[in-house]
């Protein structure tokens, strides 16, 4: 079970990293993304998605500025 969860988290992290690279926010050679947590990557991806009301509201401690 432990390996399944770890694999799922790593898969999601890679998915979000690819989204950030495709959006042009980071280079594929930028290894700093791999050190971020899943929550931090989710917060970064949420910033690139257009929201219905305009700006994305702050998410608290999980926000990371790189």
- Evaluate whether residue 66 is within a structural domain: no
pTM: 0.68
Whole-angstrom distance, CA of residue 44 vs CA of residue 20: 8
- Evaluate whether residue 53 is within a structural domain: no
Answer whether residue 58 shows pLDDT above 70. Answer: no
- Evaluate whether residue 32 is within a structural domain: yes
- Evaluate whether residue 54 is within a structural domain: no
- Evaluate whether residue 35 is within a structural domain: yes
- Evaluate whether residue 17 is within a structural domain: yes
More confident residue, 47 or 59: 47
Whole-angstrom distance, CA of residue 45 vs CA of residue 42: 5
- Evaluate whether residue 58 is within a structural domain: no
Q: How many domains does the chain have?
A: 1
Domain carrying residue 21: 2-48
- State pLDDT tens for residues 29-56: 888 999 999 999 999 999 987 654 444 4
């Amino acid at each position: 079970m432990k390996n399944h969860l770890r694999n799922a988290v790593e898969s999601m992290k890679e998915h979000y990293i690819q989204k950030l690279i495709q959006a042009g926010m980071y280079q594929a050679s930028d290894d700093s993304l791999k050190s971020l947590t899943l929550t931090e990557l989710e917060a970064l991806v949420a910033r690139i998605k257009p929201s219905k009301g305009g700006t994305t509201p702050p998410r608290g401690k999980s926000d990371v500025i790189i």
